[in-house]
Structure 1
């Protein structure tokens, strides 16, 4: 069973690639979904409240991810708060991924896709056999970030500043697709990539 890691800039189209790989037969492990699960584990929630106070909780006592994002991407606080959060979440997410990969390896699943914004930064690249880079021009990514996430270009730049430079991600990739044209073009490239994999 092949493990495929998706890398690229924010709003490059990694989720669209993951969706197509799922259609083709891969199982997708979504780091954002895993983060949603682990951030409300009692131990994590308690650690966050100890650090930042109960104002990060919503009306039902769950962690408000938007309140957390304001803290970890604040220019005033630097990167220390983000590092604190990642130190809590990343080991738990990795543990989930390793458990799921081990379980899926006992099934006919041909491939697993790890869709994680900080895949390389978290050290999860070592779990992958293949690193697929989704390339997309900055203007296109800014447009997607604005339309889909309501982010300004400055917000995108702030979020991206805490990630590895895009050129470094590109350098570490083993395979590439370009999300510069139509969805049909991207889909065709993903299918070609899939067909070239040795174990699918």
Structure 2
């Protein structure tokens, strides 16, 4: 398993998706696992006890209520909300961890060669212990601000969310490799390709990267006089 981290708006998810498609790999989406965790009854009950009914779209029967993630985010991100964030993490992170491990086990059982873990708080939560290598996706702040504007976020919102994570220089220092994703996605994908080759990852049969680099994956021709056993 290979972990992928970076700042908000660094394009981690798009990069993971493109690389996984080329190599026939699987992607574990930390955000998706987190959203799924918020739908579990035990999690909803615990969050209701900690934060009250205001974080739900509908009050009443928690089994049918849905958490309003925007309202929950407003309660846990930003200055002065550190204790609330720790409480949220204590409730949700163990469930996310379980879901990620179960999903990874399923992919490996299906024969997938490698899995990319895309999780914003991978290092902070300790999920990086699952990973053989960590890749940091590096993008200038000005470009990240341009990208998150498409989500309706301004600079203050980006800062508010990143304040709950490790500083980017700390994440970068913890990584085994750094990929520049400030330009064309195709350039970052090629850089990721090079890392996977270096780390001896085997593409899945039929993966596009095999067709592009067929010379690398073609069966070796025996030298004169060699015996080939099959």
Using the size of structure 2 for normalisation, the TM-score is 0.81
* Structure-1 residue corresponding to 2:75: 71
Decide which of 93, 100, 107 is 1:97's aligned counterpart.
100
Asked if 2 retains the 8 angstrom alpha-carbon contact of 1:20 and 1:190, the reply is no
* Structure-1 residue corresponding to 2:50: 51
Q: How far apart are the structure 1 equivalents of 2:201 and 2:94?
A: 29
Decide which of 132, 137, 151 is 2:135's aligned counterpart.
132
Q: How far apart are the structure 1 equivalents of 2:14 and 2:192?
A: 10
**1:174 aligned onto 2:176:** yes
Q: Unpaired runs of 5+ in structure 2?
A: 59-63, 203-230
* Structure-2 residue corresponding to 1:197: 199
Q: How far apart are the structure 1 equivalents of 2:93 and 2:68?
A: 18
Residue 193 of structure 1, CA deviation: 2.4
Q: How far apart are the structure 1 equivalents of 2:78 and 2:197?
A: 43
* Structure-1 residue corresponding to 2:114: 111
**1:7 aligned onto 2:21:** no
Using the size of structure 1 for normalisation, the TM-score is 0.92
Q: How far apart are the structure 2 equivalents of 1:107 and 1:197?
A: 21
* Higher alpha-carbon Rg: 2
SS class of match (2:123): coil
Q: Unpaired runs of 5+ in structure 1?
A: none
SS class of match (1:163): coil
Q: Say what the alpha-carbon RMSD is for the aligned residues.
A: 1.4
